[in-house]
Amino acid sequence: MSAPAIGTLYGMARWEPGARERLQAAALELYVRQGFEQTTVEEIARAAGLTERTFFRHFADKREVLFNGQEELERFFLDGIRAAAPDASPLEMVAGALATSAGFFADERRSWSRLRDAVISAHPPLKERELLKMAALAAAMAGALRARGVADRAAVLAAESGVTVFGVAFTQWIAEGETRSLAEVEREVLADLGELAGARAAKR
């Protein structure tokens, strides 16, 4: 259970460290270059200097290799909800989660995110996995909201709306020419949603 000695000064490890990261980098690169279906797991593994068998020890399947920081992202969102004011409304808690989550996506990540998103959007199997991750995120947020005393129905609706806002904001954040931070865009989209729900006469 102790952490392995990675890159000590006194000797090479038995294997090149960072196998997992090498696999992820190789997979993204290959998926971009030649498409998801045209890339075999064997190919990815060899590009990372490993075997197919080892690939499946690090990732449950061929898609999962592109979905890593999920637990961490989830932690950001949940922390945001837990840090909300005691008397905040459900949507305010979600707004807090969105604000916190933006910390996960620093500006340096933008172009990498753009690349990754392009690959995922271009391949339905990858899109499916992403949707599942987002659904899990929404479910976790709903749980956190319930833990804060929000009623069941409201918790689910608020959480799902939060994920929707995140998705729309994220798409805008990686759009060509967009320079604002994710947090800024999220605030704008959230405001749009409020306007949409509040408007009774406004169209277009």
Interface residues toward its own copies, by CB under 8 A: 87-91, 124, 127-129, 131-132, 135, 149-151, 153-154, 156-158, 160-161, 164-165, 167-168, 189, 192-194, 196-204
Note whether 149 binds DNA by CB under 7 A: no
Region 19-38 residues binding DNA, contact defined as CB under 7 A: 19
For the bound state, the minimum distance from the C-beta of residue 124 to its own copies, rounded and expressed in Å, comes to: 7
CB of 181 closer than 8 Å to CB of 98: no
Report the C-alpha gap between 109 and 182 in whole angstroms.
11
For the bound state, the minimum distance from the C-beta of residue 57 to DNA, rounded and expressed in Å, comes to: 5
Region near DNA per CB under 7 A, out of 7-15, 105-113, 143-151, 182-190: 7-15
CB under 5 to 8 A by kind: which of its own copies, DNA, none does 60 bind? DNA
Report the C-alpha gap between 177 and 114 in whole angstroms.
12
Q: How far is CA 63 from CA 27, 34, 49, 131, in A?
A: 9, 15, 19, 12
Report the C-alpha gap between 39 and 33 in whole angstroms.
9
- The size of the interface with DNA (CB under 7 A), counted in residues, is 28
CB under 5 to 8 A by kind: which of DNA, its own copies, none does 167 bind? its own copies
Residue 203: count of CB within 10 angstroms of its CB: 4
For the bound state, the minimum distance from the C-beta of residue 120 to DNA, rounded and expressed in Å, comes to: 16
For the bound state, the minimum distance from the C-beta of residue 2 to DNA, rounded and expressed in Å, comes to: 7
E-assigned strand segments in the chain: none
Which residues have C-beta within 8 Å of that of residue 172, sequence separation ≥ 6?
A: 178, 185, 189
Report the C-alpha gap between 20 and 23 in whole angstroms.
5
Report the C-alpha gap between 73 and 79 in whole angstroms.
10
Name which of 82 and 109 has its Cβ closer to its own copies: 82
Name which of 41 and 95 has its Cβ closer to DNA: 41
CB under 5 to 8 A by kind: which of its own copies, DNA, none does 149 bind? its own copies
CB under 5 to 8 A by kind: which of its own copies, DNA, none does 83 bind? none
Q: How far is CA 199 from CA 58, 60, 89, 125, in A?
A: 49, 45, 20, 37
The CA-to-CA distance between both ends of the chain, in Å, stands at 58
- Interface positions with DNA (CB under 7 A): 1, 4-5, 8, 11-15, 19, 39-42, 45, 49-54, 56-58, 60-63
